[in-house]
Amino acid sequence: MALLQISEPGQSPDPHQRRIAVGIDLGTTHSLVASVRNGIAECLPDTVGRVILPSVVRYTGEGSGRQIGFDALTGQAADPANTISSVKRLMGRVRSDVHDVDNLPYTVLDTPGMASIDTCLGPKTPVEVSAELLATLRFRAEDSFDDDLFGAVITVPAYFDDAQRQATKDAAQLAGINVLRLINEPTAAAIAYGLDQASEGVFAVYDLGGGTFDISILRLAEGVFEVLATGGDSALGGDDYDRALAHLALQKAFADKAPVPESLSGEDKANLYAAARRCKEALSADGTHEATISCPLDVGDCQATITRSAFAVATDHLTQRTLQAVRRALRDAGLEKSDIEGVVMVGGSTRMPVVRDAVANLFGQDPLTNLNPDEVVALGAAIQANQLAGNNTGDALLLLDVIPLSLGIETMGGLVERIVPRNSTIPTARAQDFTTFKDGQTALALHVVQGERDLVTDCRSLARFELRGIPPMAAGVARIRVSFTVDADGMLQVDAVETNSGVQAHIDVKPSYGLSDDQIADMLRDSYATAEADIKARAVVEARVDAERMILATQSALNADGDLLSDDDRATIDTHMAAVEAAKTSDDAAHIEAVTKALATVTEPFAAARMNRGITQALAGKNLNAV
């Protein structure tokens, strides 16, 4: 009897087939996509070799209606109201949740469910803006491999709550991406550092990005990543350092009459924050102890020289907020600073000497900075994606992540009964028994909340559902078991069952700050409306590239063997080359392709003549037997 081979769970049935899986770091300031190629994780570049995509989307109302990345960044100063940056801070949030919302150069609307941004194309949710960025990264990956994307591991801040994680998954769905898993950014960074192979012990991952801060304490042993505790602040990052520096510059430039950024126009805000960011980056360079900030404003020119020490003082309150979160995470893990064997620095904002010095002083050791802090998260996500896609034939990584905030149920009096405490390892399942409050009660209203406070009003509401059909009993007799199941993405399911009768109810928690299925469907329909324009735009770019390649190849051939052509043949080819050159500026992909094909056709006899010459030269001086 023949022996048949069956693949391992999760592995490809065809050992020669490789699924295209990527890791995506959807960042506040910039985003990246990475993949494992030839056994090595690497960030994928765009057509001009840049791996970083600025997390900026500008809505123009012209052509495709939007610009993304570097193109959007160039128009930010001139059109700040329609140029959306740092949108990650708005994910899964209402307007009142957003810190310093009035400092933003664009208008944030207080819309139901989730805050949105007022643009020339109408209100845009953070999910829609993030989907534009994710779709751009998806196209980059598919162009790199010339194949469809199987799926992606997308990273989120460790301190993202359920609503923010759901919003990220909604954005990925809108961008046409299959989410293999959401993983926390510090965990992805630890994977990229290869700590699973090179080291064992307890490590801290300090992740300060453009708009979020995370601290995670991990125990690493034989390929197992166990997150012991996590903490942070989803409204603290490099953007806040920029704003603090902008305040300092205004005070120095205008003394007692210094305006506050909130009072500036949107264009002035954008220019001032951009100048502050350049000054911050200059102060972060080795050997630089002072830098000049220069920015023309409607109220007058802002000119000021900022020293590194003055910058440290102005931003000390921000740095101390990160260190407070670090100390809290150490307490949650039951560890002392001396128990930490290494500190991994992640995020572009960790380049600031003031941050590195503060971390070094706290832990009494120099942090690890040997990998590019901008790329490390995407690289780690790519390694995990490669494994989840079934491509990894080596040792598997086991990720034991945790939830950042406790999950519970509202009980009588508006109190919270926590069922899954924060820093519980996921995936996990917990259950607790409840009972009825009144005699003859036949239904139970269940309110799922997230947070660390004892009152429901101080926690975030996630979902509400009802258990109906409970047999009438005396108060306190019914036994309702409520079960919480948190999957590897940190997403929640809740089940309730009356154990005596078997009556049950179930809900996949869709956070109240997330988007409804109808809203997602509407957004998908809108994206389909622009899909044709997107496809046409990509086709034009591809046709132009092919045309340029054909012109270069033809010119090279003419330079080498143009003497093979008659004057008439040369004139014909020159005419067709000129036609292709002219067509390159067209927006009609079909026309560009047609004239490129025509040039290829008329040069076929020339190509044959060149081949004959090559063969003749290769055989010259040789006899038939030698050949």
Q: What tokens appear for 464 in the block?
A: 């509400």
Task: Determine the Cα–Cα distance for residues 178 and 176; give it in Å rounded to an integer.
Answer: 7
* Angle at alpha carbon of residue 92, lines to 69 and 240, rounded to 5°: 60
Distances (CA, A) of 462 to 94, 112, 335, 412, 497: 14, 15, 32, 18, 20
DSSP 504-572: EEEEE---TTS--HHHHHHHHHHHHHHHHHHHHHHHHHHHHHHHHHHHHHHHHHHHHHGGGS-HHHHHH
Instruction: Exactly one of 46, 79, 88, 161 is catalytic; name it.
Output: 88
Buried b (16+ CB within 10 A) or exposed e, 157-189: bbbbbbbbbbbbbbbbbbbbbebbbbbbbbbbb
Instruction: Let me know if 100 is a catalytic residue.
Output: no
Beta bridge pairs of residue 124: 117
Task: Determine the Cα–Cα distance for residues 397 and 61; give it in Å rounded to an integer.
Answer: 46
3-state secondary structure of 426: strand
Question: End-to-end distance of the chain based on CA atoms, in angstroms?
Answer: 51
Burial degree of 148 (CB within 10 A; 0-12, 13-18, 19+): exposed
Instruction: Exactly one of 25, 170, 242, 410 is catalytic; name it.
Output: 25
Instruction: Exactly one of 46, 207, 401, 410 is catalytic; name it.
Output: 207
Task: Determine the Cα–Cα distance for residues 424 and 83; give it in Å rounded to an integer.
Answer: 39
Q: Which of 152, 200, 158, 202 is nearest to 175 (CA)?
A: 152
Instruction: Let me know if 242 is a catalytic residue.
Output: no
3 CA to centre of own chain:
45
Task: Determine the Cα–Cα distance for residues 208 and 189; give it in Å rounded to an integer.
Answer: 12
Instruction: Let me know if 252 is a catalytic residue.
Output: no
Q: Looking up tokens 């620095």, which residue turns up?
A: 345
Can you give the C-alpha Rg of the chain in angstroms?
A: 29
Q: What tokens appear for 41 in the block?
A: 């994780």
Instruction: Let me know if 226 is a catalytic residue.
Output: no
338 CA to centre of own chain:
33
> Which amino acid, 260?
V
Helix, strand and coil percent figures for the chain, each rounded to 5: 40, 25, 35
Contact 444, 389 (CB under 8 A): no
The 8 Å CB, 24+ separation contacts for 557-560 are: 557/603, 557/606, 557/607, 557/610, 560/610
Does the CA dihedral 618-621-626-627 come out positive or negative?
A: positive
Question: DSSP letter at 2?
Answer: P
Instruction: Exactly one of 46, 161, 162, 185 is catalytic; name it.
Output: 185
Please list the active-site residues: 25, 88, 185, 207
